[in-house]
């Protein structure tokens, strides 16, 4: 069954979900965006509106184009609007049991030919696909954060994913104006397999007192020409997500080099998750980021 993708469902209206909804609407797709929280849906639409307004100010679009994009996004706290969706992209928290529960509830609502994609940044696509009634129509489509600005999308097929699903997904990503890189279904895929151990090593460097937050981030920005220091980047990603990916790597590859730094664990236990909670390796409450160590 080949699929002509016209309507896209997005599950989760957090940082990733709202970005995916925006780029799909901008590419001409009708979008159904769902979240458990009505407040989160309102915030997501307001954030998309603000982002498009900033693009208007920079001359990137006019008011008619902005209105057209926003008109394509419909929100709901139910899965019912996915009944006529051609593809549904799950963008929930990086937690396997949460994702599996979503797929169990989602599948009965979908038409038989609909594709399901997960935006997971680390979890096995084969294993997640097995939680659905259509593993051959299940695929990993991993967007980078922030979705509207980042060019790359990782495409990951599970063992059961069929060729039609893969080709339809590749074409879909192309229509979004993104670049595809294909990864095998190994823990954390390509980007996070390389990036997260680097961030974890930066946290170890802090934990062992080799350098302060400021020293480590300055060293990598000016010494390795990175646009953002690793600890600043960890705060942007979310320390809970960083920890989840390291745990997937550590458990999936059984190699001690992927052991999450105890300091990263401590920050997550404290609820210091980075920018989204106003505190992580930096304190953002004053409006100016201040290192916390």
CA of residue 220 relative to chain centroid, distance: 24
* Catalytic option among 154, 169, 200, 244: 154
Q: What are phi and psi of 279, to 5 degrees?
A: -145, 135
Encoded tokens for 275: 């920018």
Note the Cα 229 to chain centre separation in Å.
Answer: 20
From the candidates 90, 142, 183, 244, which is the catalytic residue?
Answer: 142
Which residue in 118, 119, 192, 200 is the catalytic one?
192
Give the list of residues 6+ apart from residue 246 with CB closer than 8 angstroms, or none: 196, 197, 200, 258, 259, 260, 264
Could you give the CA distance from residue 118 to residue 143 in angstroms, rounded to a whole number? 10
Catalytic-residue membership of 119: no
Active site residue 46: no
* ∠ Cα 132 156 254 (to 5°): 90
Query: Do 146 and 15 meet the contact criterion of CB atoms below 8 Å apart?
Result: yes
For this structure, is 154 an active site residue?
yes
Region for residue 167 given its phi and psi (left: phi exceeds 0; alpha: psi -120 to 50; beta: otherwise):
alpha
Concerning whether 142 is annotated as a catalytic residue, the answer is yes
Enumerate the β-bridge partners of residue 75: 33
Strands 87-90 and 115-118: parallel
Catalytically annotated residue among 118, 121, 169, 183 = 121
Could you list the active site residues? 121, 142, 154, 192
């Amino acid at each position: 069954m080949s699929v002509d993708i016209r309507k896209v469902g997005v599950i989760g209206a957090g940082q990733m979900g709202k970005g995916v909804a925006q780029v799909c609407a901008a590419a001409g797709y009708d979008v159904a965006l769902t979240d458990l929280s009505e407040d989160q849906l309102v915030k997501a639409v307001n954030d998309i509106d603000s982002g498009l307004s900033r693009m208007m100010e920079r001359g990137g679009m006019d008011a008619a184009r902005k209105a057209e994009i926003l008109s394509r996004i419909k929100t709901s706290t139910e899965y019912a609007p996915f009944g006529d969706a051609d593809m549904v992209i799950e963008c929930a928290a990086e937690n396997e049991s949460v994702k599996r529960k979503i797929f169990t509830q989602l599948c009965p609502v979908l038409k038989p030919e609909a594709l399901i994609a997960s935006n997971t940044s680390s979890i096995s696509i084969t294993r997640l696909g097995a939680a659905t009634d259509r593993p051959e129509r299940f695929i990993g489509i991993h967007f980078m954060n922030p979705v509207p600005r980042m060019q790359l999308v990782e495409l990951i097929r599970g063992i059961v994913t069929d060729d039609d699903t893969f080709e339809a997904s590749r074409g879909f990503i192309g229509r979004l104006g993104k670049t595809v890189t294909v990864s095998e279904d190994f823990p954390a895929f390509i980007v996070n397999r390389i990036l997260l151990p680097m961030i974890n090593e930066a946290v170890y460097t802090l934990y062992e007192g080799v350098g302060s937050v400021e020293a480590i981030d300055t060293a990598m920005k000016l010494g390795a020409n990175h646009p953002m220091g690793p600890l600043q980047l960890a705060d942007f990603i979310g320390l809970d997500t960083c920890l989840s990916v390291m745990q997937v790597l550590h458990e999936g590859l059984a190699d001690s080099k992927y052991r999450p730094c105890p300091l990263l664990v401590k920050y997550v236990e404290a609820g210091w998750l980075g920018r989204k909670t106003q505190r992580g390796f930096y304190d953002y409450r004053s409006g100016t980021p201040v290192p916390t160590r």
